Amino acid sequence: MKNILMVASEAVPFIKTGGLADVVGSLPKCFNKDEYDVRVIIPKYLCMPWHFTCQLEYITNFYMYFAGMNRYVGLFKLVHEGVTFYFVDNEHYFGGPKPYGDTKWDIEKFAFFSRAALSALPVLGFKPDLVHCHDWQTGLVPVYMKDSFRGGEFYANMKSIMTIHNLKFQGVWDIETIQGISGLSDYYFSIDKLAVKKDANMLKGGIAYADFVTTVSETYAEEIKTEFYGEGLNGLLWARRDSLCGIVNGIDYDEYNPATDERIPFKYNDINFRKEKVKNKRALQQELGLEVNDKKMMIGLVSRLTDQKGLDLVAHIMDELCQDDVQIVVLGTGEEKYENMFRYFDWKYGNKVSANIYYSEDMSHKVYAACDAFLMPSLFEPCGLSQLMSLRYGTLPIVRETGGLRDTVKPYNEFESQGTGFSFANYNAHEMLAAIRYAEKVYYDRKREWNKMVDRAMAEDFSWNTSARKYENIYSWLIGW
């Protein structure tokens, strides 16, 4: 049996701010239980839903020297859907109303968490062969494993993997502060280790010291070695290229299943979608006050409304796009300029544009089920989950060819009748508009081809099982058996 410990700052269903939580909560369930014992350790946040907090089983507590004093470390556990989750308790660090806030404070609390997670292992009686760390919040774990947790029989031969979910977030502060918090010696704060100019970078430490580095799509693994996508770490990632690979994330195929989804008014599958899927469109048109018309092409956009998501491109061509025979449904919150932009177009083209400036899981499922196409023109996208959900619901993605979007959406080829969506290469508003209009042309003039594409999209397998097999291969290779 190979023992694996995943260390992360969030995991569904306990705490979630983004896609990281989906990965850490869903992936461990999919490993072969006869061969892998995969467990997870996360902080015990005070803001976790109470119905989970009251189920936690207290294990023990101890005191750990950290940042100049002895700190309390409480340990709890809960077995959820066959996976053991451990929780590190310290209300001084994890007592706030949300998991993240002030950057400097986040750096201290996740440095504490990284050290506590490793210190807890002998107390828990779980000896992992491999520790799998996620994002900058756990960047110090591989560093500590090569430092104060190096000696002794318990930690000997323990391997580590660092997974980058989004390179933009790195855990950067001045060297003096991070050195004082972490307790690491001067040796670790040179330019080939944690240092970046006058600052220290926690993610850089994880990338430099982990035995292997992964990220969340094959294309993103290539992109981050370049200056444009590398966020200042492209040199280090290029140096580590032989121990760096990309594995596309998955989605929970039970939760996102149009045949059983309780959040959508009309269920459908890959056999009856031609008759049943359109009923969801009708229902959403009615709910949002759009013209109720089965034949009108409906384009969805469910997103954080930020620059990263390519919304400046949408802003450029929105007036032009609204001259077309389409309906546009937007769901999400984010930067004020984009929230107001979509509100404006909703006011200007009320029968064509519906701006829903909030987030609701129920409404997101309705949008995936009702729309014909899904727009995702990201500037960069490490993996992206929305396009996987839209494929699952037979809603054809229109994406920019970057990161995970390039790896998961096969562009339509009309000559060979292949593809699961539409794509464009350059970060250019009119190139995006051309891709949307090409999709419109196929939708209106070649409906049979469109439906065959929906067939192929719904047949794609981006479940976690596929990703888990690839992680298993890396685990076995690193552990050496």
Tell me the torsion sign for CA atoms 111, 114, 119, 120: positive
By CB neighbour count within 10 A (0-12 exposed, 13-18 middle, 19+ buried), where does 51 fall? exposed
Q: Are 475 and 130 in contact (CB under 8 A)?
A: yes
Q: Are 135 and 162 in contact (CB under 8 A)?
A: no
> Is residue 266 assigned to a domain?
no
316-321, Cβ contacts within 8 angstroms, sequence gap of 24 or more: 316/429, 316/430, 317/429, 317/430, 317/432, 317/433, 318/345, 319/345, 320/433, 321/433, 321/436
Considering the domain architecture, whether residues 383 and 453 belong to the same structural domain is answered as yes
Q: Are 84 and 31 in contact (CB under 8 A)?
A: no
Q: Are 269 and 43 in contact (CB under 8 A)?
A: no
Residue 479 tokens read as 């552990």
* pLDDT value at residue 153: 87
> Is residue 263 assigned to a domain?
no
Considering the domain architecture, whether residues 443 and 302 belong to the same structural domain is answered as yes
Considering the domain architecture, whether residues 118 and 183 belong to the same structural domain is answered as yes
* pLDDT value at residue 481: 60
Tell me the torsion sign for CA atoms 317, 318, 320, 326: positive
> Is residue 108 assigned to a domain?
yes
Euclidean distance between CA atoms 195 and 380, whole angstroms? 25
Considering the domain architecture, whether residues 20 and 97 belong to the same structural domain is answered as yes
> Is residue 258 assigned to a domain?
no
Considering the domain architecture, whether residues 308 and 167 belong to the same structural domain is answered as no
Where does residue 85 fall: left (phi above 0), alpha (psi -120 to 50 degrees), or beta otherwise? Answer: beta
Considering the domain architecture, whether residues 430 and 383 belong to the same structural domain is answered as yes
Residue 300 tokens read as 């969805």
Euclidean distance between CA atoms 186 and 209, whole angstroms? 16
Q: Are 87 and 98 in contact (CB under 8 A)?
A: no
Considering the domain architecture, whether residues 444 and 469 belong to the same structural domain is answered as no
Q: What is the mean pLDDT of each run of 10 residues along the chain (481 residues)?
A: 97 92 94 96 97 97 96 98 97 95 96 98 96 98 96 91 96 97 96 95 98 97 97 97 96 93 97 96 97 97 95 97 98 97 96 95 97 98 96 98 98 97 98 98 97 97 94 95 60
Considering the domain architecture, whether residues 21 and 54 belong to the same structural domain is answered as yes
Query: What is the amino acid identity at position 137?
Result: Q
Closest by CA to 395, choosing from 277, 309, 288, 311, is 277
Number of domains into which the chain is organized: 2
What CATH number does the domain containing 442 carry? Answer: 3.40.50.2000
Considering the domain architecture, whether residues 448 and 472 belong to the same structural domain is answered as no
> Is residue 265 assigned to a domain?
no
* pLDDT value at residue 151: 80
Q: Give the dihedral of Cα atoms 259, 260, 265, 271; nearest 10 deg.
A: 10
Euclidean distance between CA atoms 458 and 368, whole angstroms? 12
Residue 195 phi, psi dihedral angles, 5° rounding? -80, 140
Domain that holds residue 410: 273-460
> Is residue 95 assigned to a domain?
yes
DSSP β-ladder status, 199-201 and 195-196: antiparallel
> Is residue 268 assigned to a domain?
no
* pLDDT value at residue 122: 96
Question: If you search the block for the tokens 């539409």, which residue do you land on?
Answer: 422
Bridge partners, residue 69, by sequence: 66
Residue 260 tokens read as 């059983």
Secondary element (H or E) of residue 82? none
* pLDDT value at residue 480: 87
Neighbours of 445 (CB within 10 A): 9
Considering the domain architecture, whether residues 445 and 470 belong to the same structural domain is answered as no
Where helices occur in 325-446 by DSSP H, the ranges are 336-348, 361-370, 386-392, 403-408, 429-445
pTM: 0.94
Residue 302 tokens read as 């469910």
Considering the domain architecture, whether residues 132 and 15 belong to the same structural domain is answered as yes
Closest by CA to 443, choosing from 280, 326, 277, is 326
Euclidean distance between CA atoms 164 and 231, whole angstroms? 12
Which of helix, strand or coil describes residue 61? strand
Where helices occur in 46-171 by DSSP H, the ranges are 50-53, 91-94, 103-124, 140-146, 152-155
Euclidean distance between CA atoms 220 and 235, whole angstroms? 15
Q: Are 147 and 188 in contact (CB under 8 A)?
A: yes
Where helices occur in 138-248 by DSSP H, the ranges are 140-146, 152-155, 175-182, 202-209, 218-223, 234-239
> Is residue 261 assigned to a domain?
no
Considering the domain architecture, whether residues 424 and 384 belong to the same structural domain is answered as yes
Secondary element (H or E) of residue 151? none
Bridge partners, residue 244, by sequence: 213
Closest by CA to 233, choosing from 205, 261, 270, is 205
